[in-house]
Amino acid sequence: MQLESLKALPFASGVAHAVCDGYAGGAALQTCSRQLLRRQTELLAQRGWTLWVGIEPEFFPLQQDERGQWATSDTRDRLNKPSYDLKAIQRNHLLLEDLRSTLVALGFDLQQIDHQDANGQYEISYRFHSALLAADRYMLFKMAAHAVAERHGSVFSCMPKPFAEAPGSGLHFHLSITDEDGAAVFADPADALGISQRGYAFVAGLLRHADALCALCAPTVNSYRRLAASESVSGTTWSPVWKAFGDNNRTCLVRTVAGRLEWRLPDPSCNVYAAIAAMLAAGLDGIDEGMRAPPACNVDLYEQFRAGAPMPERLARDLIGMARYAAYWLAHCAS
């Protein structure tokens, strides 16, 4: 047990929360995903590097109607383009404020809560942490969000694609690595995109192993409903269908921004520890093998797709292959 993680839960009287690692017979349990991520961060530390991860959860508060069908809890949230809808935020102020105050009580450094691209969908942003702590915080966030939503007669949904006609929910990872002097490994102010050669190689590793990473970052059948070039009521989905990267380009699998990387593949159904561990191993493979990233994409890939123009390679859809990839990467990360 991590004693420093022990804290009282504001939504469960008399109950404390603590983060634990899995052990068997006094040895680290190979099937413990937290131990998996710990192993990867320890290997990274041998280089004198630290991985920092900012996690952005997207979610829906849902309720069942009289027919037992699930729908968004705000029946008046019906704008064709609902992003940043202030009226919806005001209508749901009690739930969102309860979530905010609960997370603050748990030590979260919140940055914003906003309405996302789907009706009834929200996103929350809080301060980045070192990789292991970032994964711990995300698991605590989900526990708190479930409790708060239930308190308001709703269900907190992390489904990647709860509604066929609406954008799905992602779990974007904002990534940066610092060296032992605190310098940003991915950043180069002299570069046109502000990315260093190591940063580009890390991107290349992510793209090279993207099919394999699907198995851990987007692990369910519902995940693949999100990862589709589908239309939506709002006119956009932003799901990363094609293996490409671009500067501040949300239609790509990897978005570069201000000397850091945004890995857009994961969704909330993933095991966040395994997803970060495999992502880190793939990116470092790119660095160690000197992989070269493709040219940066500066177009809207959805518009290009609709126009029938040549496209980057799509992510794999073979679920059996994904399972094999998952087994390989879990073994690779644990070794």
Residues paired with residue 31 on neighbouring β-strands, in sequence order: none
The mean pLDDT value for 6-23 works out to: 93
Cα separation of 55 and 127, whole Å?
8
Q: What is the C-alpha to C-alpha distance for residues 291 and 198, in angstroms, rounded to an integer?
A: 9
- Say which CATH architecture domain 2-334 belongs to: 2-Layer Sandwich (3.30)
Residue pair 22/153 in contact (Cβ under 8 Å)? The answer is no
323: confidence class by pLDDT, cuts 50, 70, 90: low
Are 273 and 34 spatial neighbours (Cβ–Cβ below 8 Å)?
A: yes
Going by pLDDT thresholds of 50, 70 and 90, the confidence category of residue 40 is very high
**Which residue(s) pair with 138 in the sheet?**
none
pLDDT score recorded for residue 255: 97
Alpha-carbon distances, residue 269 vs 22, 113, 129, 133, 140 (angstroms): 21, 20, 21, 19, 15
Q: Does the pLDDT of residue 146 top 80, yes or no?
A: yes
pLDDT > 70 fraction of the chain, expressed in percent and rounded: 92
The mean pLDDT of 129-146, rounded to a whole number, is: 97
Counted residue by residue, the chain has a size of: 335
| pLDDT for 187 | 97
The reported pLDDT for the residue numbered 322 is 61
